[in-house]
Amino acid sequence: MSTISSAPNLTPTPTITERAHLEAVDVCAWFGSTLVLDGVNLTAELGTVTSLIGPSGCGKSTFLRILNRMHESIPGAQMAGEVRLDGVDIYGAGERVTSVRKKIGMVFQKPNPFPAMSIADNVTSGLALTRTKTSRAEREELVETSLTRAGLWREVKDRLDQPSSALSGGQQQRLCIARALCVQPEVLLMDEPCSALDPTSTRRVEETILELRDQVTIIIVTHNMQQARRVSQRAAFFLAEQGAPGGIVEQGVTEQLFTSPVDERTANYVNGEFG
Amino acid sequence: MTTTTPRPTPTPRRVRQYTADDWWSLATSVVASLALVTLVYEHVLDLSGTLGFLVCWFATFLLLYAAVLSFANERHVVTDRVVAAALYAAAAVVVGALSSTVIYTFAKGWPALSHVNFYVQDMSGVSPTAPLSQGGILHAIIGTVIEVALATVIAIPLGIATAVYLSEVGGALSRVVRTVIEAMTALPEILAGLFVYVVLIVYVGLPKSGLAVSVAMAVTMVPIIARAGEVALRVVPSGLREASQALGATQWMTVRKVVLPSARSGLATATILAVARGVGETAIVLITSGASSFINWNPAQNPMNSLPLFIYTGYQTHENLAITRAFGAASVLLAMVLVLFVLTRWLSRERSGR
Amino acid sequence: MSMSGVGAPAPRSLSREPRLLSAGHERSDRIFRALSTTTGAVVLLVTGGIGVFLGLQSIPTLRHYGLSFFTTAAWQPELDHIGIAAVLVGTLEVALVAMVVSVPFALMLALFITEYAPKRLKSWLVSAVDLMAAVPSIIYGLWGFFLLQPQAIKLSRWLSQHFGWFPLFHVSTDPNAAVWQQSQYTSSAFIAGLAVSMMAIPLACAVMRAVFDQVPRGEREAAMALGGTRFGVARTVVFPFARGGIIGGSMLALGRALGETAAVLIIISPAYEIKIRILEAGTQTISALIAANFGNATASQLSALMTAGFVLFLITLVVNTVAASIIRRSRSGAGTDI
């Protein structure tokens, strides 16, 4: 897992590096008038998995939702800073929120397939939502490739017409991953994708993440530190101290963050002393 | 971040759902469609009328807007924007209809409303065609207040006791009661009026009176209070009931001291909703009470006028002055409903604020 | 407890039979439960009694007229020639017009409020719709007669000019006459239906809005995260979820429209003929028939009116019960209070 050649960069300067794919610069977030996230800088490089770890309520999920403009769908939510995809600010005046979300997909904590649709329809629902015209053959091929990429094809290939509710929780989550992959996003955001799953399904989803690594940039929020070590090459540790907004305490190569953290609080957290 | 230098306080960024391009598309479509319709409407299409003009303008606008948007946008974005424009228009039409109702009523009633005697006199000895400086609707206001008050006094205990029965006691019968009450909230009011008319007035031999009105009104109010009240009681967390019973309280004491007080504002809202409906109940007063022209304080005897009845009889005369008085009475009725409405808003705000 | 009073205790272990756990109500509780149950029963008797009463009262009429009561259009009690065919058709026509107008508007309004409206406008609109439901029907009647009608007859005329070949929109006068006969277009089922729709819209809208609000956040966000627009979200997530609420809410509004009295009474001019020309002056509905004729009715006429009322009762009962069960059975209706 040592594909990362660059040295651990603990305090990245907000510049566009060549390898930067998705880059958050000085991101702040508010709910109402409460500042919940202050000055977060993060760079996700092409073809890597970045994990965001930290105790509950430190703003990881909020940060993740800012990365594909889901944050603004909550009433009273505000943000500041920039999020650049290939150097272009996704919050810029000319950017359409729907096309941003199409390029930056998301998988949620709880599996949320569309219950009224069949398995196949769920996979292609992103195309229907964006009214992308496709032929039947194209669609069938997309269903197969997306489900294969999400590691679900073999399990469901004989029952694509069944409702998605017939699947187990882990399968539903992988269906949601397939659904997100079907619109060919450049980045995939995952918000604690395994927290509602049993260990077997969790392992299956983790394998899926590892297989996807070369094809799409992944940012994953997780509570499970072992999972962060298993799937990610880079990691960022979020913390919100009493009464203060959350932010990144330390970030860098995952192994390094876990074995020789620089900050004392990171050390305490990864050694299980709190959180 | 553990930076030691104090950061400047961050300020939120304005996040836009609409791009500048969207606004330009909107503006150009509005102007262009207006220009086009103005040119074509009367000359080419040979149509007339303001309403028709607005409809044609809007239809043209939608077409142009869709066309302009589709230059630079994907199809699903165009659909979304056009739907948004149509929805804004639909909301404007409905709100326009509602405000025209309110404004028109007050405007038409104003000549009557501007006379003080309108509020402090009755119509006894005043002909419907008498000038507006004579006579008033005090008898109708008093009638409405008495009838609604009496109906509320009958309906509240029955309604709330039924709500308590449905939510706290239950039993085999409760499903039947709930089903029937659910069906009866939608009972056409005229049928409640007809029922009371035949039973109390034709069979029992009561005179057409305020009392008959109140009974019929109560029949329509009880299901409303019972149903909305049951909902309010069910919202009370069952933990509260268990806590009270774990302290050794009887069920009755639990209901009286814990459940009912917790649901107070919900029950009050339910009652006011029912009162607001009772105030405007026209079909019932039409059937079960006569339109007197004088103040009658006794609901048990003699006809008792009320605002809806006064409005209807005034309308029926087809005399301009009587119709103006009817609109004056309608304004007073509307004002009463508005006050009750604001009261429910205020109560439910207090509830949600807690 | 008084267990020890039964001679020598048996040497076996406690019985494995389940013990009867009586709730052991105190006296005050028994009174409380009895009282509230009685109230429930009384309310059931009175409200449910209306239906039974109307049913019983219609027996003499149905005996006297038989099936012809349903097929006769005229209402001429002095000639003993009575039937509800015309008023039934009129009732359905007014309700139909009200539905055609109110369902799309209620749906659009509900969609606008939950999906599109900015936050401030949203709470404003919710209040406006609630207020709309609170305005007394007689005021909508006045509004419909004095303000709406002079405008609406132009639409009536336009419809009959261009779609007069369609029986519903035909008017028995020359729509193209230089001086058009306005009185042929007033007081019609169409205009009454427009006024009634003002009462139906808030009712249907409130149910639809309540159901739209219950769409699970997860599904909504999933659609958004895939790049769905607001309308895309509505199409793929909201509508499938809320189908039951949309149908049920519309049917509740239909129940209201069928029984509406005051506004209809003010607007229409009574006509006892089976008439499908909804734009033409004159029609009659069951509720307006009762309101207009109960006063000088003899005992047998009263029975006839109650029979008409009973028919109205049955129709609204069926409509409302079906509506309630559709809402309850739909995935969205579980927690909805309608």
Res A10 pLDDT > 60: no
B183-234 confidence digits (pLDDT tens): 888 888 899 999 998 888 888 888 888 899 999 999 999 999 998 899 889 8
Q: How far is B161 from chain C (nearest CA, A)?
A: 6
User: For the packed helices C189-213 and C119-134, what is the interaxial angle rounded to 10 degrees?
Assistant: 130
pLDDT-derived band at B96 (thresholds 50, 70, 90) equals very high
Res B104 pLDDT > 90: yes
Domain ranges of chain C: 92-284+312-335
CATH architecture of the domain formed by B138-353: Orthogonal Bundle (1.10)
* B17 and chain A in contact, CB less than 8 A: yes
* Chain B residue whose CA is closest to C48: B180
Q: For chain A, which domains are there?
A: 20-270 (3.40.50.300)
Burial class (CB in 10 A: 0-12, 13-18, 19+), B119: middle
> Which parts of chain C have pLDDT scores under 50?
1-5, 333-338
Res B53 pLDDT > 50: yes
Asked whether the beta carbons of residue A114 and residue C331 sit closer than 8 angstroms, the reply is: no
Quote the strand ranges of C147-276, DSSP E: none
According to CATH, where is 1.10.3720.10 located in chain B? 138-353
A175-212 confidence digits (pLDDT tens): 999 999 998 899 999 999 988 888 888 888 898 899 88
- B37-B42-B45-B48 Cα dihedral, nearest 10 degrees: 100
Local structure of B235: helix, strand or coil: helix
Residues in chain C within 8 Å Cβ distance of B337: 134-136
Q: For residues B101 and B337, is the Cβ–Cβ distance under 8 A? A: no
- Interface test with chain C among B53, B83, B224, B337, by most C beta carbons within 10 Å: B83
Mean of the per-residue pLDDT values for chain A?
A: 86
Rounded-to-integer distance, Cα A36 and Cα A27, Å: 11
74-103 of B, contacting A, C-beta below 8 A = 74-77, 79
Query: Is pLDDT larger for residue A26 or for residue A11?
Result: A26
The reported pLDDT for the residue numbered B46 is 60
What residues are paired with A235 via a beta bridge?
A51, A252
CATH architecture of the domain formed by C92-284+312-335: Orthogonal Bundle (1.10)
pTM above 0.90, yes or no: no
Q: For residues C221 and C301, is the Cβ–Cβ distance under 8 A? A: no
* Chain B residue whose CA is closest to C296: B287
The 10 Å Cβ neighbour count of residue B180 is 20
Q: How far is CA C43 from the centre of its chain?
A: 22
B288-318 confidence digits (pLDDT tens): 888 888 888 888 888 889 999 999 999 988 8
Rounded-to-integer distance, Cα C74 and Cα C84, Å: 8
Residues in chain A within 8 Å Cβ distance of C224: 70, 73, 101
Local structure of A85: helix, strand or coil: strand
Asked whether the beta carbons of residue C228 and residue A113 sit closer than 8 angstroms, the reply is: no
Q: How far is A108 from chain B (nearest CA, A)?
A: 23
Q: How far is B17 from chain A (nearest CA, A)?
A: 7
* C48 and chain B in contact, CB less than 8 A: yes
Rounded-to-integer distance, Cα C269 and Cα B125, Å: 31
**Token pair for B75:** 């199809």
Q: What residues contact residue A201 under an 8 Å CB cut-off, 6+ apart?
A: A168, A169, A170, A171, A173, A194
Rounded-to-integer distance, Cα B39 and Cα B59, Å: 15
Q: What residues contact residue A146 under an 8 Å CB cut-off, 6+ apart?
A: A123, A178, A179, A181, A182
The reported pLDDT for the residue numbered B352 is 52
Rounded-to-integer distance, Cα B135 and Cα B116, Å: 10
**Of A98-107, A196-205, B154-163, C235-244, the least confident:** A196-205
Q: Tell me which residue of B292, B161, B276 sits closest to B230, measured CA to CA.
A: B161
What stretches of chain A show up as alpha helix (H) in DSSP?
60-67, 97-103, 119-123, 125-129, 136-149, 153-156, 169-182, 199-212, 225-231, 254-259, 264-270
Rounded-to-integer distance, Cα B197 and Cα B302, Å: 15
Q: What residues contact residue B9 under an 8 Å CB cut-off, 6+ apart?
A: none
Radius of gyration of chain B (CA): 28
- Mean pLDDT, to the nearest integer, of B282-288? 89
In the sheet where A88-89 sits, what is the strand order?
A34-45, A20-31, A77-85, A88-89
Q: For residues C36 and B168, is the Cβ–Cβ distance under 8 A? A: yes
Q: How far is A110 from chain C (nearest CA, A)?
A: 7
Res B344 pLDDT > 70: yes
Rounded-to-integer distance, Cα B55 and Cα B38, Å: 12
Residues in chain C within 8 Å Cβ distance of B282: 136-138, 261-262
What residues are paired with A238 via a beta bridge?
A248
What residues are paired with A20 via a beta bridge?
A45
Local structure of C162: helix, strand or coil: helix
Rounded-to-integer distance, Cα B188 and Cα C259, Å: 5
B-to-C residue pairs, Cβ atoms closer than 8 angstroms:
263
Burial class (CB in 10 A: 0-12, 13-18, 19+), B203: exposed
| DSSP letter for each residue of A194-216 | TTTS-HHHHHHHHHHHHHHTTTS
* Chain B residue whose CA is closest to A128: B76
* C265 and chain B in contact, CB less than 8 A: yes
Rounded-to-integer distance, Cα C48 and Cα B184, Å: 8
Query: Is pLDDT larger for residue C265 or for residue B353?
Result: C265
Res A14 pLDDT > 70: no
